[in-house]
Structure 1
């Protein structure tokens, strides 16, 4: 009996002296993900060039003069400069894109009028055009802004409204160069058709006929040309006159204005 008691005591001692170790499960350590910086994607500055800012050389180089008289590039550059300055001054609508150029430095036997669509970079018309009877014979030489001078006037014009008059379907022109062509309306300087502006006239006279100062065009082309350029478009009559070229406010670069 004593022996059994000793054994039970031993077992109890062993049980109370032995402690289980609690093994705590390891907690998963979570490492926060680094937030990647958002990349700001930029395509660079947008080009500042627009249709209106494309320079004259680029447009001129795109125009196809094949099978027609080629417009002098310097004359085009001046016409384009004035066209842009008139537009910036609010004299032309923002969407205006028809530019008509008359180069009176050329013989009247040449097709020296060009009507150009700047958006399409295309010549719509290339035609004969008359100068005033007191401006010269075959070549233009003298210009005036005076009433009853029967001379042509240099410079930039804004095309106005149409009417039917003594010379048929005609287009009023508003002169924009003070002292050079700003009397155009008073002098009734308009575009109209004329029978003396023709190849047949050239064959007999070695020049076309002359007007009283109007930029007259062939009778058959008067209506289509006028309908194309009417309604506040730019018309430029050029001649290498030093006084005009140095005086016209429309031929000054933007920084000079």
Structure 2
């Protein structure tokens, strides 16, 4: 059961106008995923990635489920999801070698140091992303996800399917997400 402060029933049906607010339908889907996978997840906070928004918009939303407070960050999508590099995600894939972002619920697992520095492994919880661990889909920092990319190119660069955030944002992202919590990614 979700905390009283934020449940699917309390999400308004009218769309939000601010890019820093999670759209109601996406929030409803994320809350349903939290219910579906709740036995495996901590339920105090979660992250929602709104892949309907452009990469130039803060679309990685961190939600405190008790208070409803949120904060938002920039996040890149995979090059296989946007082959023409338009700044918008066009398709998802769960296939190895696709370099695409996957949709669905992810469990934020352990931290490690790899080719992108400190990173966090993700375990896909749905059939649409259950290859995430084998594909090495993780949260990591990257130069191409820094805010100055928007000033110079109008959009972020692309990952190989990972949730890449700005290098100077990574510590805060890890602090807000932590281990055992859900990231829900979709394009609604």
Same fold (TM > 0.5): yes
Tell me, yes or no, if structure 1 residue 82 matches structure 2 residue 30: no
> Runs of 4 or more off by more than 6 Å in structure 1?
65-68
CA contact (8 A) 1:160 1:232 kept: yes
- Higher relative contact order by CA 8 Å / sep ≥ 6: 1 or 2? 2
Query: Secondary structure in 1 aligned to 2:46?
Result: strand
1:235-254 aligned within 5 A: 235-240=183-188
Query: Secondary structure in 1 aligned to 2:151?
Result: helix
CA contact (8 A) 1:130 1:210 kept: yes
Tell me, yes or no, if structure 1 residue 209 matches structure 2 residue 160: no
**How far does residue 84 in structure 1 lie from its aligned partner after superposition?**
1.6
**Rg larger for:** 1
Name the counterpart of 1:131.
77
Unaligned residue ranges in structure 1 (runs of 5+): 1-48, 241-257
Q: 1:50 to 1:69 in 2, by over 3 A?
A: closer
Unaligned residue ranges in structure 2 (runs of 5+): none
1:154 is matched with which residue: 94, 103, 113?
A: 103
Q: Deviations over 1:155-186 (max 9, x none)?
A: 101110111111111111000111x1101011
Aligned residue pair count: 182
Higher strand share: 2
- Quote the Cα distance in structure 1 between the aligned partners of 2:57 and 2:115: 26
Please report the TM-score for the alignment, with normalisation by the length of structure 1: 0.66
- Quote the Cα distance in structure 2 between the aligned partners of 1:216 and 1:184: 14
- Quote the Cα distance in structure 2 between the aligned partners of 1:224 and 1:198: 14
1:185 is matched with which residue: 133, 142, 145?
A: 133
Please report the TM-score for the alignment, with normalisation by the length of structure 2: 0.88
Name the counterpart of 2:49.
102
1:1-257 aligned within 5 A: 51=3, 55-58=7-10, 60=11, 69-87=20-38, 90-93=39-42, 96-123=43-70, 125-136=71-82, 137=85, 138-178=87-127, 180-240=128-188
